Structure 1
Amino acid sequence: MYSIKELTTQKEWQEAYPVMKQLRTHLTEEQYLELVEEAAEKEQYTLAALYVNNKIAALAGFMPMITLYNGKSIWVCDLVTDSAHRSKGYGEKLLNYVHDWANEKGYNIVSLSSGLQREDAHRFYENKMEYDKVSYVFLKRL
């Protein structure tokens, strides 16, 4: 049995850090907490956790965006399943939660990016979740 809950407090975000660290390996706990707090406050970032036996097994971080390309949409910033819980359908359940959240709030597009090396994730997004590959994301560090 599982449950999904939106995390809204510093304590809950801190509890999620060990799982998020598996995806965002470059972030210290302090950096992570600062970024989540600022993103929640300024960008309406939402961090949802999927719990199994009262422990976080997977996380999805997402936020509303408005762009000329997509109009009003939801951007999935983070999606990670704890290494001990992979291949159990938790990523699918969390993305479906995001889809339902988006629909309830009037957003009809959900988009995300995924690192070029993450071929298993790409198969999951395209084949299992029926996402279309529509662009490349480019980055320049200044």
Structure 2
Amino acid sequence: MENVQYARTAEQIAACWLPIQALRPHLDAATFVQVIQEMMETGYQLIYIADAGKPVAIAGFREEHKLVSGKTIYIDDLSTLASHRGRGLGGRLLDFIHTLARQQGKDGVYLDSGHQRHDAHRLYLNKGYTITAHHFTNKNL
């Protein structure tokens, strides 16, 4: 396994498609790179761990500053290919983000997780996260 790397070029972003698709199956492969690049214009960063040169685990995150939480890092996406789960890759990506947050003097790291993702919840709880809120969505606009 390789060390954590940033995906910055179109080619690096495109190589992260499979682990992202595992988490976000609704995305369109044809527009994926463009969407990530647009998100990067507003601060989104994408990191990955590769096996044999191919990304197998990814994390997407951004810096935020809010009244409720202060200066934080918010993790939008965290995913490992099913074939590579149970090897600590998600934990390595979280550790990388936690170190970055400490180095930058952040007040914390936040994320949301689907209620059905029990294995992910176990990881988050083992990494010191607590369940502090309910997330509400209204798409009937």
TM-score range (shorter-chain normalised) is over 0.9
Aligned to 1:65: 64
Q: Flag structure 1 segments of 5+ consecutive residues without an equivalent.
A: none
- Mapped partners of 1:56, 1:69: distance in 2: 34
* 1:106 to partner: Cα distance: 2.0
- Mapped partners of 2:136, 2:124: distance in 1: 19
* 1:98 to partner: Cα distance: 0.6
Answer yes or no: is 1:123 the counterpart of 2:122: yes
2:5 maps to amino acid: K
Please list the CA deviations of residues 20-40 of structure 1 after superposition, one character each: whole Å capped at 9, or x if unmatched: 100010001133222211110
Aligned to 1:132: 130
Q: Flag structure 2 segments of 5+ consecutive residues without an equivalent.
A: none
- Mapped partners of 1:31, 1:113: distance in 2: 24
Aligned to 1:111: 110
Aligned to 2:31: 31
Aligned to 2:46: 47
Report if aligned partners of 2:16, 2:56 keep a CA contact under 8 Å in 1: no
TM-score, normalization: structure 2? 0.94
- Give the secondary-structure state (helix, strand or coil) at the position aligned to 2:56: strand
Report if aligned partners of 1:3, 1:52 keep a CA contact under 8 Å in 2: no
Please list the CA deviations of residues 15-64 of structure 1 after superposition, one character each: whole Å capped at 9, or x if unmatched: 1111110001000113322221111012x111000122222120000000
Runs of 4+ in 1 over 4 A off after TM superposition: none
Total equivalences in the alignment: 140
- Give the secondary-structure state (helix, strand or coil) at the position aligned to 1:33: helix
- Mapped partners of 1:14, 1:90: distance in 2: 20
Which stretch shifts more, 23-32 or 5-14? 23-32
- Mapped partners of 1:39, 1:125: distance in 2: 25
Tell me how large the CA RMSD over aligned residues is: 1.1
TM-score, normalization: structure 1? 0.93
